[in-house]
A and B are shown apart, each in its own frame.
Chain A
Amino acid sequence: MTTFIWVAIIIIVLSIVGLVYRLVKGPTPSDRVVALDAIGVALICLVGLFSIIVDTSFFLDIILLLAILSFIGTIAFSKYIEKGDIITRDNSR
């Protein structure tokens, strides 16, 4: 069982390396934003697997917290790409 978990961790780390390549190389800002979002999802998987290895349930709050922060960060970046500013003062005018 432990060998299986370590193999899964190695596969996820390799996928993070591929995403970092896309983050550095990506031609447009949208590629980099999608790569950052996917890196957040891969980090969620890593925290879950490590919480199995060290046999504790105290890391499960961190998974939800990482998902929330990744979601808000992706929305902020995409609003910046679309409208040019993140926080607008008055949307109706």
Chain B
Amino acid sequence: MKTNDVIMQFTAKLVFFIIFFFAVHLFFAGHYTPGGGFVGGLVTASAIVLLIIAFDLKTVQTILPINYINMVAIGLILALGTAAFSMFTGKPFFTHYYDYFNLPILGKTSLHTAALFDLGVYLVVVGVTMTIIQTIGEDE
């Protein structure tokens, strides 16, 4: 029987962007308010899971051509590189740096290297969750 689920697919297209921007907000708000890389990664993965449920695995692989295992590797390299960078300048392992910059649109902002480490955590969480879900979903 051929079913027609146009309402679910249209809602998923709209709600995907709301969930994804909420995940970006959670990621960047992690320094001063609750949130951070782990929760942001899980919410991003749940947004992609919503697309997979509304459509199917092949369509989502076509519109988001991401190799999630490479994503885990990139995240681990980013986290380890951020932690090991201070060893080459004579400081202990995991020393972080921060400074205030005048960005063109945002004005005076404080940029911290902990955000790069958090980006590594984000990529690893998204990659691991999507690898697990895709591997289980492809099983017949």
Question: A interface vs B, CB < 8 Å?
Answer: 58, 61, 64-65, 68-69, 71-72, 75-76, 79, 82-83, 86-91
State which size class the interface on B falls in.
20 to 34
- A89 and B57 contact, CB distance less than 8 A: yes
B128 within 8 A of A: no
Counting chain A CB atoms within 10 Å of each CB, the highest count among B53, B136, B137 belongs to: B53
Nearest residue (CB) in B for A75 is B53
Residues of A within 8 A of B140 (CB): 89
B19 within 8 A of A: yes
- Residue contacts A-B, CB under 8 angstroms, 29 given: A58-B33, A58-B34, A61-B26, A61-B33, A61-B34, A64-B22, A65-B39, A65-B43, A68-B43, A69-B46, A72-B46, A72-B49, A72-B50, A72-B53, A75-B8, A75-B54, A79-B53, A83-B3, A86-B137, A87-B53, A87-B57, A87-B137, A89-B58, A89-B137, A89-B138, A89-B140, A91-B56, A91-B58, A91-B59
Nearest residue (CB) in B for A59 is B34
Majority-rule SS of A interface residues: helix
B133 within 8 A of A: yes
Majority-rule SS of B interface residues: helix
Nearest residue (CB) in B for A78 is B8
- A61 and B138 contact, CB distance less than 8 A: no
Nearest residue (CB) in A for B25 is A61
Question: B interface vs A, CB < 8 Å?
Answer: 3, 8, 15, 19, 22, 26, 33-35, 39, 43, 46, 49-50, 52-59, 133, 136-138, 140
